[in-house]
Chains A and B, each alone.
Chain A
């Protein structure tokens, strides 16, 4: 019951956000399905007319269908950037196959005698298509659309990875922060939407199926019923409505405002808080318009976005820039790292690194507070003395990294009784249950607050520095000169402990924007 209550209170506290994402999800789904209908049905007609094309076309959409969605997004981002465009493109591409196939099947599986009669009495080919083939193929075509639409609801959740929003945002954020309420808040509306769409299209299918065909499938003796409503009568309004929906969608997708600063973030809570912090700060201190493109995806997605100009600003970590983006060896001196990436980014990408925000979000080892007290543990060197009594529960990745456990072993002469590979939030559960005594962590992890853990100091500086720094496109700085001083006011303002607390609040389901703004207010950075 308590979990239900917490779910309800979570939904209640985030209801406007959930509603917004839900609407976004609907828009993306409906818009994508409409576009794929607009592409697939004419294509289906085309391959009916030119049978030779049917092999290549169906083959091609089959291949598209077999590409994993993540890979497809990977291909699309360099071309289309991030946000709703690649997301819609992906969903459209996946929706093509069922609609094209059903259109083709529907239009070709019509009784030859019917077509011959139509020709024989003097209908033109286009009249045959419109008045005979199409109405008769309608049930089959609609079943294809139905499959596409339901699949699209699911596919749109992956759109969250590339910043298109939608309910996937909640699902993936929830997975990352071990927040079941958030996962459910995304998954349940998505399911409901899928079922609802299936139902609606089923109804449309029912209405679109010509009465005469229906009568033959069911018993026709007692069916004198008129169709529920006369489609013909509503044809025009219906068409107009659909057109409006399409155009509205187009404006939403492409009506990108030119005169705004776009602030982006990666897809986890710390980034969301920092992104919102920057956005709110600029909004508050300048007259510029700010657009928030949060939760875009992993480092490479967000970095590509700032490179291509889809976003103007986000917060990057020095270590990530050095190791992941520039593919260099890790260096332990924070200032050296900062200078290397600052110079390289300026030269290679015309992106400027501002000043570090203060905290270093790097790897760390953590133990429970009482354990630390008992053994008087403050540094990893302290831990090394007693490590043979303890079990380490860490991620697989940490266990296998040179700047992780392997390096620790070497540098500190750590020697745990057991090393257990455990993923994500489970590491903390294991620690809580005393199945393990030591875990790896990130220094700003909100869960450190939640479980009251003690971080051990990396006194021999094994872990590379990951200082958080706002990075901005140079052309943006030129165009909006007030940004720089405003953002510099954040320099050194956030300690690791601050960040832990902020993360913790966001993990617990608070709106990252509110968390960020509360912090700014507390620090008197905004009014």
Chain B
């Protein structure tokens, strides 16, 4: 849908954008993020030709935008900016209907469209149509900004830090609304922000930029789990992932080398292993490391015949988790089954690790202590 090919921007010998190459698909919500001066807004403004590249090409639906009529291109593209950019001398209706009225769309059609859009962004048309921007709150103004962006029914909507001046509650509401609009109408939305939470919440894919270059362009999960380099890790924040617990996988937090034993050991031997490892249970695996059961000190104490083999008394009914499952699922399982530990297996049921209540506690407390330290 939108493609950047070797796009560069140089102003006064300073490289603002350095060889950007990427493709945005139809219906995607892409978030550009990065520190101030990274070039994210410049990139956005190139799409509607507010800024022209020094070299390289930008294509929309395969057509080079440099050869297209600028005004027409912009009219077919929604544009929402921070601080709304509403025209203070026009009523809400005039603001939303400005481009249609310039294009001589009949008055009653404009009226219908404005009513429809105001309803869409959650403002009562009768109350707001004839008001002026200064009579509205910041959040309401930004809703009008969104409505105005939608009026020409554009395929693409550009949003330049639209919510950054709003209070957190309003911002959240509007993020939800943009998300819903995108889901409903499948618009291609390019969204610039400096707020990582906002990016993670909204984006299908996130483009992280630094010093005019793209550092990583990936799904939120991929960026959280596999940051491309230290910059991304630092920028995303190493604890950011805890805001998205469903992305934390069992394999990231499990005890990697649980104490285990062969089913052929004698109970005496098993007790010995527990002693030397300071544990009260053993996971039992066969030669190929498949988990087949477990044994606890309690079970051994109940069974007085010490000459028996582990395989004779071990528990074979196992509650396990797959290493790819998320921490949320582990916690659910522990709670539901009321157990103190869960063995972790891979897809072939081979033992790969162990999660216990105390290991979880250790990891979570480290997390919160870290966070405290960060602040």
Which of A's residues lie within 8 Å of B, judged by CB? Answer: 113-114, 116-124, 127, 131-132, 135-136, 210-213, 215-216, 220
Q: How many residues of B contact A (CB 8 A)?
A: 31
Selected from B82, B86, B102, B132, the residue in CB contact (under 8 A) with A215 is B132
**Contact, CB under 8 Å: A216 / B134:** yes
Selected from B84, B89, B102, the residue in CB contact (under 8 A) with A213 is B89
**Residues of B84-99 contacting chain A, CB below 8 A:** 84-91, 98-99
Selected from A121, A131, A211, the residue in CB contact (under 8 A) with B132 is A211
**Residues of B257-309 contacting chain A, CB below 8 A:** none
**Contact, CB under 8 Å: B89 / A117:** no
| Chain A residues whose CB sits within 8 angstroms of the CB of B74 once the complex forms | 119-122
User: Can you spell out 6 A-B residue pairs with CB atoms less than 8 angstroms apart?
Assistant: A116-B81, A122-B77, A213-B134, A220-B132, A220-B134, A220-B135
Shortest Cβ distance from A397 into chain B, in angstroms? 61
| Chain B residues whose CB sits within 8 angstroms of the CB of A213 once the complex forms | 88-89, 134
| Chain B residues whose CB sits within 8 angstroms of the CB of A136 once the complex forms | 87-89
| Chain B residues whose CB sits within 8 angstroms of the CB of A216 once the complex forms | 88, 132, 134
**Contact, CB under 8 Å: A212 / B85:** no
| Chain A residues whose CB sits within 8 angstroms of the CB of B89 once the complex forms | 135-136, 210-213
B134-176 CB mask vs A (1 if < 8 Å, else 0) is: 1100000000000011000000001000000000000000000
Q: With A113-B83, A211-B89, A216-B88 given, is the CB distance from A122 to B133 under 8 Å? A: no
**Contact, CB under 8 Å: A114 / B87:** yes
| Chain A residues whose CB sits within 8 angstroms of the CB of B135 once the complex forms | 215, 220
B72 in contact (CB, < 8 A): yes
Q: With A212-B89, A212-B91, A213-B88 given, is the CB distance from A120 to B81 under 8 Å? A: yes
| Chain B residues whose CB sits within 8 angstroms of the CB of A118 once the complex forms | 85, 87
B191 in contact (CB, < 8 A): no
Q: Which residue of B lies closest to A221 (CB)?
A: B135
Q: How many angstroms between the C-alpha atoms of A216 and B135 in the bound complex?
A: 7
**Contact, CB under 8 Å: A122 / B50:** no
B4 in contact (CB, < 8 A): no
Q: With A127-B102, A215-B134, A216-B134 given, is the CB distance from A119 to B86 under 8 Å? A: no
Shortest Cβ distance from A257 into chain B, in angstroms? 48
Interface-centre pick from B71, B87, B135 (highest chain A CB count, 10 A) = B87
B194 in contact (CB, < 8 A): no
Shortest Cβ distance from B204 into chain A, in angstroms? 23
B297-328 CB mask vs A (1 if < 8 Å, else 0) is: 00000000000000000000000000000000
B333 in contact (CB, < 8 A): no
Q: Which residue of B lies closest to A216 (CB)?
A: B134
**Residues of B61-110 contacting chain A, CB below 8 A:** 71-77, 79, 81-91, 98-99, 102
Q: With A131-B98, A212-B133 given, is the CB distance from A122 to B87 under 8 Å? A: no
B188 in contact (CB, < 8 A): no
A-B contact count (CB 8 A): 83
B52 in contact (CB, < 8 A): no
Interface-centre pick from B81, B88, B132, B135 (highest chain A CB count, 10 A) = B88
Q: With A212-B134, A220-B134 given, is the CB distance from A121 to B88 under 8 Å? A: no
Q: How many angstroms between the C-alpha atoms of A213 and B88 in the bound complex?
A: 6
Selected from B85, B86, B102, B132, the residue in CB contact (under 8 A) with A116 is B85
Secondary structure class of chain B's binding surface, majority of residues: mixed
Shortest Cβ distance from A481 into chain B, in angstroms? 67
Shortest Cβ distance from A67 into chain B, in angstroms? 38
Q: Which residue of B lies closest to A226 (CB)?
A: B130
**Contact, CB under 8 Å: A120 / B158:** yes
Q: How many angstroms between the C-alpha atoms of A211 and B92 in the bound complex?
A: 12
Q: With A122-B71, A216-B134 given, is the CB distance from A114 to B85 under 8 Å? A: yes
Q: How many angstroms between the C-alpha atoms of A114 and B134 in the bound complex?
A: 13
Which 10 pairs from chain A and chain B are nearest by CB?
A117-B85, A210-B89, A122-B74, A212-B132, A122-B75, A120-B79, A216-B134, A212-B89, A212-B88, A135-B89
**Contact, CB under 8 Å: A210 / B88:** yes
B237-260 CB mask vs A (1 if < 8 Å, else 0) is: 000000000000000000000000
| Chain A residues whose CB sits within 8 angstroms of the CB of B158 once the complex forms | 120
| Chain A residues whose CB sits within 8 angstroms of the CB of B71 once the complex forms | 122-124
Selected from A117, A212, A220, the residue in CB contact (under 8 A) with B81 is A117
Q: How many angstroms between the C-alpha atoms of A489 and B98 in the bound complex?
A: 77
B3-39 CB mask vs A (1 if < 8 Å, else 0) is: 0000000000000000000000000000000000000
Q: Which residue of A lies closest to B136 (CB)?
A: A220
Q: Which residue of B lies closest to A211 (CB)?
A: B132
B48 in contact (CB, < 8 A): yes
| Chain B residues whose CB sits within 8 angstroms of the CB of A135 once the complex forms | 89
Q: How many angstroms between the C-alpha atoms of A117 and B86 in the bound complex?
A: 7
| Chain A residues whose CB sits within 8 angstroms of the CB of B50 once the complex forms | 116, 119-120
Q: Which residue of B lies closest to A135 (CB)?
A: B89
| Chain B residues whose CB sits within 8 angstroms of the CB of A131 once the complex forms | 87, 98
**Contact, CB under 8 Å: A123 / B81:** no
Q: How many angstroms between the C-alpha atoms of A131 and B98 in the bound complex?
A: 10
Q: How many angstroms between the C-alpha atoms of A132 and B158 in the bound complex?
A: 21
| Chain A residues whose CB sits within 8 angstroms of the CB of B48 once the complex forms | 120
**Contact, CB under 8 Å: A121 / B99:** yes
Known: A120-B48, A121-B79, A216-B132. 9 other contacts (CB 8 A): A113-B82, A118-B87, A119-B74, A120-B74, A122-B71, A127-B102, A210-B89, A216-B88, A220-B134
| Chain A residues whose CB sits within 8 angstroms of the CB of B149 once the complex forms | 121
Q: How many angstroms between the C-alpha atoms of A190 and B134 in the bound complex?
A: 41
**Contact, CB under 8 Å: B72 / A122:** yes
Q: How many angstroms between the C-alpha atoms of A210 and B132 in the bound complex?
A: 10
Shortest Cβ distance from B98 into chain A, in angstroms? 7
Shortest Cβ distance from B102 into chain A, in angstroms? 7
Q: How many angstroms between the C-alpha atoms of A216 and B89 in the bound complex?
A: 10
Q: How many angstroms between the C-alpha atoms of A280 and B73 in the bound complex?
A: 74
Q: Which residue of A lies closest to B79 (CB)?
A: A120
| Chain A residues whose CB sits within 8 angstroms of the CB of B90 once the complex forms | 210, 212
Shortest Cβ distance from A289 into chain B, in angstroms? 54
**Contact, CB under 8 Å: B75 / A121:** yes
| Chain A residues whose CB sits within 8 angstroms of the CB of B73 once the complex forms | 122
Q: How many angstroms between the C-alpha atoms of A433 and B79 in the bound complex?
A: 85
Q: Which residue of A lies closest to B158 (CB)?
A: A120
Q: With A122-B71, A211-B132 given, is the CB distance from A132 to B79 under 8 Å? A: no
Interface-centre pick from A116, A124, A127, A135 (highest chain B CB count, 10 A) = A116
Shortest Cβ distance from A402 into chain B, in angstroms? 70
Q: How many angstroms between the C-alpha atoms of A452 and B94 in the bound complex?
A: 78
Q: Which residue of B lies closest to A209 (CB)?
A: B89
**Contact, CB under 8 Å: A132 / B87:** yes
| Chain A residues whose CB sits within 8 angstroms of the CB of B87 once the complex forms | 114, 117-118, 131-132, 136, 212
| Chain B residues whose CB sits within 8 angstroms of the CB of A211 once the complex forms | 89, 91, 132
| Chain A residues whose CB sits within 8 angstroms of the CB of B86 once the complex forms | 114, 117
**Contact, CB under 8 Å: A117 / B79:** yes
| Chain B residues whose CB sits within 8 angstroms of the CB of A121 once the complex forms | 74-75, 79, 98-99, 148-149
Q: How many angstroms between the C-alpha atoms of A253 and B73 in the bound complex?
A: 50
Q: How many angstroms between the C-alpha atoms of A212 and B99 in the bound complex?
A: 19
| Chain A residues whose CB sits within 8 angstroms of the CB of B88 once the complex forms | 114, 136, 210, 212-213, 216
| Chain B residues whose CB sits within 8 angstroms of the CB of A127 once the complex forms | 102
Q: How many angstroms between the C-alpha atoms of A124 and B85 in the bound complex?
A: 16
Q: How many angstroms between the C-alpha atoms of A122 and B74 in the bound complex?
A: 5
Q: How many angstroms between the C-alpha atoms of A116 and B45 in the bound complex?
A: 10
| Chain B residues whose CB sits within 8 angstroms of the CB of A210 once the complex forms | 88-90
| Chain B residues whose CB sits within 8 angstroms of the CB of A117 once the complex forms | 79, 81, 84-87
Q: How many angstroms between the C-alpha atoms of A117 and B72 in the bound complex?
A: 15
Q: How many angstroms between the C-alpha atoms of A238 and B129 in the bound complex?
A: 28
